[in-house]
Structure 1
Amino acid sequence: MTDTTDELMEATYAALCKHGYASLRMQDIADESSKSKATLHYHYESKQELLYALLDFLTESFADQIETLEGETPAAQLLTLIESYLWPGEDDTHEEFRTALLEIKAQGPYNERFRDELTEFDRMLHGRIRSLLEAGQADGLVRDDIDPDETAEFVVTILNGAQTRHVAVGYAPERTYAMLETYVYRQLLVDDADVDRLEVGLE
């Protein structure tokens, strides 16, 4: 990725947080960068093209982030992934971005390109969770009778619902994390799993 592209992605992110999807203009993005509006149009034909690129950029960034996760066991790494999804950041900018992202998700049924980008993110998240569950089974820590693919589908559905619920009605992500943490320990781990509760994050 070039310095210009990186700068434009950061500017689009900042402008999206500040103005939201519906009100966002190319000039708003230019105002967040050192580039002119004409330069933006040279690289991207429209606001939509910039937003498509931003979603692709965010998907790649999140994929890199969850490739190497903290934790000694796959179960601990799964909880780290869940935490990073529920808490992408602590400042107001991240809260504003969650709202803007929900606006973009709402366009999915009507915009095929948005739907494709969101589907790719969903597929990536599902695949990483499934791989952690499979690794846990290989290590003898995750129950053999659970289906990694179906379980990953369940966790992704919970995470997406939690994000929407947080933005729409202010439901605390901490509560969702606590429930998923209990689910991992009580439903996914084998009864005699040699897993330190502190390491898994349950104490």
Structure 2
Amino acid sequence: MDIFEDPQSTREEILAAAYRALCAHGYADLTMERIGEEFEKSVSLVYHHYDGKDDLLLACLEFMLENYRVDTDTGPPSDPSAAMEAVCDRLLLVDAPPDVQQFVRALIELRGQAPHNRAYRDYFTRSDAFFQDRIETIVETGVEQGVFRDADPERTAGMIHTVLSGAFFRYATVEGDDWLADVREELRRYTEQTLYLPDDDAP
């Protein structure tokens, strides 16, 4: 993942090592020692900064979310239709590189800790709210610009986000991904029927 390619501090080097180790081993088989194997400096330095693997993984997730927030905090999109397509493609892993695919599988393992771990539950609650809010902003902007139908932004965003979340779970827990193309096509059909105005009706 691009944000880990050029770490700017020891902390970022540790987070990058945690990301690589998580992708390679998954959550269940991940240990601080394995994270240390991905870290060019002493594993004792990892323990100096973080109490354990959950503390470190949560810090890694927060770092990734904050970077995504900064990268996408550009205000309302100038082209809501293109923005919606980009969100759907990104979250349905269209053309995703192998390390991102591995991370998605590991991410579902981390999400599985949420029912019994408040720290993970709090993180995923905020993460879900963030991504749904981004989709809601796209819908609101499209309605305001007159390029989307008069849809309810919150309900529409909730529907799309739920479909995308379900696709993540299925992708991570079944063999094969031939079904992804069908889901993408049906989601495109949903957005066309629910949001997009016909070309002759658009301003």
Q: Give the TM-score normalised by the residue count of structure 2.
A: 0.87
Residue in structure 2 matching 1:160, options 153, 158, 165: 165
Percent sequence identity over aligned pairs: 33
The reply on whether 1:90 has 2:92 as its aligned counterpart is: no
The 10-residue stretch of structure 1 (15-24 or 183-192) with the greater mean CA deviation from structure 2 = 183-192
Question: Is the Cα–Cα contact under 8 Å of residues 93 and 101 in structure 2 kept in the other structure?
Answer: no
Q: Which runs of 5+ in 1 are unaligned?
A: 196-203
Q: Give the TM-score normalised by the residue count of structure 1.
A: 0.87
Quick one: distance in 1 between partners of 2:94 and 2:195?
25
Q: Name the structure 1 match of 2:189.
A: 182
Quick one: distance in 2 between partners of 1:161 and 1:27?
33
Give the alignment of 1:74-85 within 5 angstroms: 74-85=80-91
CA drift at 1:175: 2.6
Provide the aligned length of Structure 1 versus Structure 2.
193
**1:175 maps to amino acid:** D
Question: Is the Cα–Cα contact under 8 Å of residues 25 and 47 in structure 1 kept in the other structure?
Answer: yes
Quick one: distance in 2 between partners of 1:90 and 1:132?
22
CA drift at 1:89: 5.8
SS in 2 for 1:9: helix
Aligned structure 1 segments of 4 or more residues deviating by more than 3 angstroms: 64-69, 88-91
Q: Name the structure 2 match of 1:198.
A: none
CA drift at 1:90: 3.2
Q: Name the structure 2 match of 1:134.
A: 140
The reply on whether 1:24 has 2:61 as its aligned counterpart is: no
CA drift at 1:68: 4.9
Pairwise CA RMSD of aligned residues? 2.1
Q: Which runs of 5+ in 2 are unaligned?
A: 1-6
The 10-residue stretch of structure 1 (45-54 or 176-185) with the greater mean CA deviation from structure 2 = 176-185
Q: Name the structure 2 match of 1:194.
A: 202
Q: Specify whether residues 83 and 18 from structure 1 end up closer, same or farther in structure 2 by C-alpha distance, changes over 3 A only.
A: same
Q: Name the structure 1 match of 2:56.
A: 50
